[in-house]
Amino acid sequence: LIVMRYFGDKDNNDKVLGLVGRGLTYDSGGYSIKPTDSMMDMKNDMGGAASVIGAMSIIAKRQLKINVIAVVAACENLISGEAYKPGEVIGSMAGKTIEIVNTDAEGRLTLVDAVHYIINNENVDEVIDLATLTGAALVALGETTTAVVTNNDKFYG
């Protein structure tokens, strides 16, 4: 995990925004390998992480009067001697166990520890996570609309 902290409003430390970005620098699908044509763009599976790092850079350069803590989960999903395999059970930071059914469904696994970390180890009031999780959103919404899920009705204010 990469952790970045920016405190531009030191008079208001009780209001801190948390950002989490998913950053797969390359996703082959692991042992549930993708078809070759599908792998060509998988170097772009780090859009959430790039957005969070870019936001933190802009916030700092503009010296915005806000407080933000950002966590980026950066990894690759490749076949290797250390890669997890279908049927394995792995542990999470939260102490939960997860059975791996499809190694190409790594998006949620990538986010789970980063979200757990920021909620339990950083003093943030709200968390926004950004991730390229599923091609189903692209099929459903097209290339000009972003899928958003929230449990905060005020988010859309």
The secondary element (H helix, E strand) that includes residue 18 is strand 17-27
Average pLDDT, rounded, for the chain: 93
Domain boundaries, the chain: 2-156
22 forms bridges with which residues in the sheet? Answer: 73
The architecture in CATH of the region 2-156 reads: 3-Layer(aba) Sandwich (3.40)
pLDDT, mean of residues 40-44: 88
Percentage with pLDDT > 70 across the chain: 99
State pLDDT tens for residues 74-86: 999 999 999 999 9
Is residue 135 predicted with pLDDT exceeding 90? no
Q: What is the pLDDT of residue 157?
A: 62
pLDDT, mean of residues 61-68: 98
Q: Which residues are catalytic?
A: 34, 108
C-beta separation of 2 from 74 below 8 A: yes
Is residue 21 predicted with pLDDT exceeding 80? yes
| One-letter identity of residue 76 | E
pLDDT, mean of residues 87-100: 97
Query: Which tokens belong to 131?
Result: 């991730």
Q: What is the pLDDT of residue 146?
A: 85
